[in-house]
């Protein structure tokens, strides 16, 4: 190939390359611009969506607040006298007074809106006011009623004191003044009356032991408590019981466990089946002693 033709060929070839590279660059620019437009469109769409969602949230919150203030301030939801259920020992009027006091003290309102009342807080407040109460359940009954369900503690035994006979629960709390014969609970005698106070816990360890023993009997069968009329604590802290049928004496030792109680109840049951009259049962020794009355 002649020299001139070779030079022209090379120059045309270089020109073609430059034109090709320009096309590629232009194409890349177009692709980048398209990508940028897509990103911008996505951002714009996101901003629009976020704005719409934000406006919707603001509207919903405004409606919620408006509804809230309507319910809080509407006289339609002003509470009337509470409905009190389940109380047997505590007078209804006493519970009513405490509820009204709660409204004044904690809500600064004699007749508050039903939605302003914290049900758990009112429940805790009432439970703290009455030692006779085991549990309180407070419920709303729209539009304007509060239902208070009282679960009272169950007596386990009676204790004779200077100011009368009182009922005691399994934890030693004195919460009811009673007349003897009203309840079919065994009586605990030999208790230091100076340590017994109404609406207070008896902390005497000897009494706690007896209550634990009586509770063990009840845990087997609550009807078995009818087998015993009295549990006595003597000066040396020894526990002695008297049965209802025949007045048999039962001497307890250190072992007041559920196992020894089961053995005692089995002896009493066997004697009743055989129509034997027991004079005493002595549980203070490894070998239980049973003495029968001679006809």
Region of 249 please: left (phi>0), alpha (psi -120 to 50) or beta. beta
Note the pLDDT tens digit of each residue in 156-174: 999 988 778 889 999 999 9
Residue 169 CA to residue 159 CA, distance in Å, equals 11
Q: 220 with 262: CB under 8 angstroms?
A: yes
pLDDT digits (tens, 9 = 90+) for 216-226: 999 998 888 88
Judge if 76-152 and 157-292 fold alike in CATH terms: no
- 161, 162, 165, 168 alpha-carbon torsion, rounded to 10°: -40
pLDDT at 6 over 50: no
CATH of 157-292, one of 3.20.110.20, 3.40.80.10, 3.40.50.720, 3.40.50.10960: 3.40.50.10960
Residue-level pLDDT at 267: 94
Q: What is the pLDDT of residue 53?
A: 85
**Selected residue with higher pLDDT from 290 and 165:** 290
- SS3 call for 163: coil
- The residues, ordered by sequence, that sit 6+ positions from 178 with a Cβ below 8 Å of its Cβ are 158, 164, 165, 166, 167
Q: Give tens-digit pLDDT for 229-253.
A: 999 999 888 999 999 988 999 999 9
The pTM of the whole model exceeds 0.75? no
Tens-place pLDDT, residues 179-224: 444 557 999 999 988 888 888 899 999 999 999 999 999 999 888 8
Question: Within a 10 A sphere around the Cβ of 83, how many other Cβ atoms?
Answer: 13
Helix (H) or strand (E) holding 22: helix 3-73
Residue 278's Cβ-count burial label (10 Å; 0-12, 13-18, 19+) is buried
pLDDT tens digits for 118-141?
999 999 999 999 988 999 999 999
CB 159 within 8 A of CB 187: yes
| Per-residue pLDDT band at 72 (split at 50, 70, 90) | low
Domain ranges of the chain: 1-73, 76-152, 157-292
Cβ-based neighbours of 156, under 8 Å, separated by 6 or more: 168, 169, 170, 185, 211, 214, 215, 218
Assign domain 76-152 to its CATH architecture: Roll (3.10)
Do the beta carbons of residue 102 and residue 130 sit within 8 Å?
Answer: no
Higher pLDDT, 266 or 49: 266
DSSP H helices, 74-134, are: 92-107, 119-129
- CA dist., res. 264 & res. 167, Å (int): 25
Question: How many residues belong to the chain?
Answer: 295
Model confidence at 98, in pLDDT bands (50, 70, 90)?
very high
């Amino acid at each position: 190939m002649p020299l001139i033709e070779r030079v022209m060929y090379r120059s045309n070839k270089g020109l073609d390359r430059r034109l090709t590279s320009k096309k590629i660059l232009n194409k890349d620019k177009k692709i980048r611009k398209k990508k940028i437009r897509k990103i911008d469109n996505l951002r714009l769409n996101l901003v629009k969506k976020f704005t719409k969602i934000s406006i919707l949230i603001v509207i919903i919150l405004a409606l919620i607040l408006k509804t809230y203030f309507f319910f809080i301030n509407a006289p339609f939801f002003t509470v009337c006298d509470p409905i009190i259920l389940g109380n047997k020992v505590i007078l209804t009027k006493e519970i009513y007074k405490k509820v009204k006091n709660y409204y004044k003290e904690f809500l600064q309102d004699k007749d508050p809106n039903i939605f302003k009342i914290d049900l758990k807080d009112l429940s805790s407040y009432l439970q703290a006011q009455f030692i006779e109460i085991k549990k309180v359940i407070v419920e709303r009954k729209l539009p304007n009623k509060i239902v208070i369900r009282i679960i009272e503690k169950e007596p386990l035994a009676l204790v004779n004191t200077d100011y009368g006979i009182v009922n005691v629960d399994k934890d030693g709390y004195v919460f009811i003044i009673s007349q003897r014969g009203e309840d079919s609970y065994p009586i605990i005698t030999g208790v230091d009356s100076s340590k017994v106070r109404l609406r207070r816990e008896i902390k005497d360890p000897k009494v706690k032991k007896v209550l634990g023993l009586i509770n063990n009997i009840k845990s087997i069968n609550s009807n078995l408590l009818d087998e015993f009329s009295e549990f006595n604590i003597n000066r040396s802290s020894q526990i002695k019981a008297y049965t209802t049928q025949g007045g048999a004496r039962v001497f307890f030792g250190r072992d007041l466990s559920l196992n020894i109680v089961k053995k005692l109840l089995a002896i009493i049951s066997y004697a009743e089946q055989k129509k034997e009259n027991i004079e005493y049962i002595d549980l203070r020794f490894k070998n239980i002693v049973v003495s029968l009355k001679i006809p």
